[in-house]
Amino acid sequence: MSRRARKQLREDPEVRRQQILDAAIQVIGQRGYHGFTIQELAARCGLTNGGLLYYFGSKERLLISILEERDRRESVIVHATAELTQEESQQGVLSLARVRKLFRIIVEREVGQPELLRLFAVLQAEALDPAHPAHDFFLRREAMVIDEFSRMVAPHVEHPRVVARQILALLDGLAQQWLRVDGAFDLVSVWDDTVAALFPARTQPGGQERESTAS
């Protein structure tokens, strides 16, 4: 690290905080929450234990900060990339084509950030234990995501919450398969095929296709 970079880290707490988060993402994604220590992470960042905890307070708070920051960034980027029309924004109703696009953006983002994807996969499994510090976070997040997905698909399917759960399970399950084989298959292409099966097109009189309105 150059002298200038070290000086910037000393002078800018937000830059230092981001360095810690980036290092923690790598370590936790490889070994899980229980597989790393504050001492190890502090050494990676050129800090003392107390210096690292100054930014987060505790190992548990560091973990939640990583998860919250990841979700915040993803939400901003996905919604900005979706390019909602003014009418859609006002009505709060998305066309099925737009819903499909939003889910595809999520998958594309996952492929582009395998370290974050691995982090989430590892922590989701660990957090099945009610004593895990991220257990409540994932409970709240899952409920929030299912609610959001339900609203998105409600105009297009008969049982929106059932479909929302299916979509979330597919996103998580395919991501784990992709990580397990180190990206050996085209996750985006497989997702496109999966969505086509979940939301099949129906043929109108005259041979034209329309978007399905039922799951």
Query: Is 140 within 8 Å of 68 (Cβ atoms)?
Result: no
pLDDT digits (tens, 9 = 90+) for 141-193: 999 999 989 998 999 999 999 999 999 999 999 999 999 999 999 999 999 99
pTM: 0.74
Query: Which has the closest alpha carbon to 172: 203, 197, 149, 152?
Result: 149
The more confidently predicted of residues 115 and 178 is 178
* Statement to judge: residues 34 and 4 lie in one domain: yes
Of the residues 22, 39, 57, the one at which a domain ends: 57
Domain that holds residue 67: 59-210
Residues 46 and 138 placed together within one structural domain of the fold: no
Please tell me whether residues 37 and 85 are part of one structural domain: no
Confidence of residue 94 (pLDDT cuts 50, 70, 90): confident
